[in-house]
């Protein structure tokens, strides 16, 4: 499975660092759309990504159009609390692109209107506005891989370091 996570104007470095770690664990590509609310050199961003940066594929784009230039339109899904369908309802195809908005506002109506049938949400109880961005990315990403039988991922625990047991 080829998964692309697109963050439009991310604002919080720790969220993006956590998302780097999730993308590294899955082999997904992370696309960051400028402007960013932090510097890529931010220590909080680096700390949250821990030692996964060398495993991550991160691309920076000047616009959402640039980030999605290679994406087949039917493979693009927009994550929004304003979506009418659950994140488990689409059949995700390879490649898959999931677009997330800024932490404070989410995706704009202009962006949501570009893909009206492809706006999906994570179900949650009334009164809850949304999940933390890094948690939402993980929920979506693992659903995509679940639908594909976790293609390309180890489903049996393997020792991470030599001599580890358990």
Mean pLDDT of 90-119: 96
Say which DSSP state 35 is in.
S
Q: Residue 143 is encoded by which pair of tokens?
A: 């659903």
Q: What is the pLDDT of residues 143-153, one digit of tens each?
A: 999 999 998 89
Q: How confident is the model at residue 164 (pLDDT cuts 50, 70, 90)?
A: low
Closest CA to 137 of 35, 32, 38: 32
Give me the sheet containing 119-121, strands edge to edge: 57-61, 29-33, 3-8, 96-100, 76-79, 119-121, 85-86
Mean pLDDT of 24-42: 91
Mean pLDDT of 70-96: 96
Mean pLDDT of 17-31: 95
The domains of the chain are located at: 3-147
Q: What's the CA gap between 142 and 130, in Å, rounded?
A: 18
N-terminal to C-terminal alpha carbon distance within the chain = 29
Q: How confident is the model at residue 52 (pLDDT cuts 50, 70, 90)?
A: confident
CATH superfamily, domain at 3-147: SPOUT methyltransferase, trefoil knot domain (3.40.1280.10)
Q: What's the CA gap between 111 and 92, in Å, rounded?
A: 20
User: Helix 133-147 vs helix 13-26: angle between axes, to the nearest 10 degrees?
Assistant: 20
Helices (H), 6-158: 13-26, 43-49, 64-67, 109-114, 133-147
pLDDT of amino acid 152: 87
């Amino acid at each position: 499975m080829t998964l692309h996570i697109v963050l439009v104007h991310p604002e919080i470095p720790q969220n993006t660092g956590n998302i780097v770690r999730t993308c590294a664990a899955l082999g997904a590509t992370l696309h960051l759309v400028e402007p960013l609310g932090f510097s890529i050199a931010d220590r909080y961003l680096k700390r949250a990504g821990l030692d996964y940066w060398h495993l991550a594929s991160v691309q920076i784009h000047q616009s959402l159009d640039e980030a999605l230039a290679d994406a087949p339109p039917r493979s693009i899904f927009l994550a929004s609390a304003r979506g009418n369908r659950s994140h488990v309802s689409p059949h995700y195809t390879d490649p898959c692109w999931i677009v997330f908005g800024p932490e404070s506002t989410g995706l704009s109506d202009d962006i949501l209107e570009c893909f009206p049938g492809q706006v999906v949400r994570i179900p949650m109880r009334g009164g809850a506005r949304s999940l933390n961005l890094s948690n939402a990315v993980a929920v979506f990403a693992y659903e995509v891989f679940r639908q594909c039988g976790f293609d390309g991922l180890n489903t049996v625990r393997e020792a991470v370091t030599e001599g580890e047991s358990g």
